[in-house]
Structures are given as C-alpha cells and as structure tokens.
Amino acid sequence: MSFLRFLMLLSLMLWIGGIIFFATLAPTLFSVLPTRHLAGSVVSPMLAKLHWIGLLSGVAYLASSMLYSRLTTGDAHPLAARHVLIALMLLLTVISQFGITPKMAALRASLGEIDAVPATDPGRIRFNALHVWSTRLEMGVLLLGLTATYLTARRFH
C-alpha cells in the first residue's frame, strides 16, 4: 500500500515540479539568450518533454490511486475529485501538446526570426494569442495539480 501512495505522490511531484521549473527557466532563457528565436528553440522542446512527463505522470497517478482505492475500500472511485482533477490536467496537457504547440511551431517556422516580424503582422498576432493560451493551460494544470496534491495528502492523514 505504501508503494502505491509513493507512486501517487511521486507522479504529482514530478508533474507539478516540472511545471514550476519550466515556469522559472523559460523566462530566464528569454532574458539571457541573445534572441527570442533562440530562446524559443530551447523552450519548445522542453515544453514537449514537460508535456510527456505530465501525460505519463497523470496515467501513473490514476492507475496507482484507483488501485489503492480499490484495495482499501473495494471501489476504485473513478469519479473522486482527485481523479477528475487529474483527468482535467491530462485533457489540458493533451490540448496544449497536440493542439496548440504544433500550431505555434508551424507559425514559428513560417515567420522565421520572430523578433524581425512586426507586432501587427497577422502571423505574429496569431502566435502571440496561441502563446497566451499555452500559458493559461499550463497555469490551469498547475492549479489543478496543487488541488489534487492537497486532496491526495489529506487522504493519508
């Protein structure tokens, strides 16, 4: 049983910790590297890796948590608040990874050096809008994850 609790907490720590690390590192790269294009070239693959860590962590959490519930109460409780929150985190991550990120990558490729593109250019406006949504989704995943962590920790008192 303690191994299942360990897996639940580890998966949340990896996912949430990754988001916090990314949120700290990405702005630093944009402020330190000589161009936004170069910073974006570093941040983009990091975001993809973060998403895959999140997807694997979410599945690991759901599997271990439902198994833990099944073994302790006789029911997996798939609609428990913590499971719904993780499912929402997974959904937001899938939207970001497979919906928004590919569109941003295509725009980056078509625009070239982003710093040279006027702020009024339709492609740049679209890119900036997608970036805002990407940031919002990550923030949503973080807030949902913190809530799921609280619910998980409260469960083990």
How many whole angstroms separate alpha carbon 63 and alpha carbon 48?
23
SS (H, E, C) 17-48: HHHHHHHHHHHHHHHHCCCHHHHHHHHHHHHH
pLDDT per position as a tens digit, 122-142:
999 999 999 999 999 999 999
3-state SS, residue 79: coil
In which residue are the tokens 């693959």 written?
45
Give 120's contacts (C-beta < 8 A, 6+ positions apart): none
- What is the tally of structural domains in the chain? 1
pLDDT tens digits, one per residue of 42-77: 999 999 999 999 999 999 999 999 999 999 999 999
Who's near 18: CB < 8 A, 6+ residues apart?
50, 53, 54
Q: Each residue of 5-44: pLDDT tens digit? A: 999 999 999 999 999 999 999 999 999 999 988 999 999 9
pLDDT greater than 80 at residue 157: no
Mean pLDDT taken over the chain: 96
pLDDT in tens, 109-125: 999 888 899 999 999 99
Boundaries of domain holding 140? 2-155
